[in-house]
Homo-oligomer: A and B are copies of this chain.
Amino acid sequence: MALIVQKYGGTSVGNIERIKNVAKRVARSYDEGNAVVVVLSAMSGETNKLVALTQEVSEFPIGREYDVIISTGEQVTVGLLALILKEMGYKAKSFLGSQVPIVTDSQFGSARIESIEDERLRAVLNDGVIAVVAGFQGVDPEGNITTLGRGGSDTTAVALAAALKADLCEIYTDVEGVYTTDPNFCPNARKLEKVSYDEMLEMASLGAKVLQTRSVEFAKKYEIPVMVRSSFNDAPGTLVCKEDKEMEKVVVSGVTYNKGEAKISVLRVPDRPGIAAKLFRPLTEEGINVDMIVQNISHDAHTDLTFTVSNADYKRALKLIKESTAAVIGAEEVVGDPNISKVSIIGAGMRSHAGVASKMFEVLANEGINIQMISTSEIKVSCVIDVKYTELAVRVLHDAFGLGTNEIVEEKD
Contacts and interface: CB of A to CB of B under 8 A. Distances in A.
Interface of A: 16, 19-20, 50, 53-54, 56-58, 61, 63-66, 68-69, 71-72, 75-76, 78-80, 82-84, 86-87, 93-94, 96, 98-99, 143, 145
Given A16-B53, A20-B57, A54-B79, 14 more contacts: A16-B56, A57-B83, A58-B83, A64-B93, A64-B94, A65-B80, A65-B82, A66-B83, A68-B75, A68-B94, A69-B75, A72-B75, A72-B76, A99-B143
Contacts of A94: 64-65, 68
Contact of A84 (B19, B50, B57): B57
A76 B94 CA distance: 20
Contact of A53 (B56, B80, B82): B80
Contacts of A86: 58, 63, 65
A76 B83 contact: no
Contacts of A99: 143
Contact of A78 (B58, B63, B68): B68
20 contacts: A16-B56, A53-B76, A53-B80, A54-B79, A54-B80, A57-B87, A58-B83, A58-B87, A64-B82, A64-B93, A65-B79, A65-B80, A65-B82, A65-B83, A68-B75, A69-B75, A69-B79, A69-B83, A72-B76, A75-B75
Given A72-B76, A78-B68, A83 B54 contact: yes
A45 to B, nearest CB: 14
Copies in the complex: 2
Closest 5 CB pairs of A and B: A69-B79, A68-B79, A72-B72, A65-B79, A65-B83
A251 to B, nearest CB: 49
Contacts of A87: 57-58
A42 to B, nearest CB: 10
A48 to B, nearest CB: 14
Contacts of A19: 57
A340 to B, nearest CB: 31
A123 to B, nearest CB: 12
A58 B79 CA distance: 12
Contacts of A56: 16
Contacts of A63: 83, 86
A143 B94 CA distance: 12
Contact of A50 (B61, B76, B143): B76
Contact of A76 (B61, B69, B78): B69
A80 B54 CA distance: 7
Nearest to A99: B143
A68 to B, nearest CB: 4
Contacts of A84: 57-58
A98 B65 CA distance: 16
A74 to B, nearest CB: 9
Nearest to A93: B64
A392 B73 CA distance: 45
Nearest to A49: B76
A66 B20 CA distance: 16
Nearest to A20: B57
Nearest to A82: B65
A53 to B, nearest CB: 6
Contacts of A20: 57
Nearest to A120: B143
A57 B53 CA distance: 28
Nearest to A145: B96
A68 B71 CA distance: 12
A58 B81 CA distance: 11
Contacts of A83: 54, 57-58, 61, 63, 65-66, 69
Contacts of A16: 53, 56-57
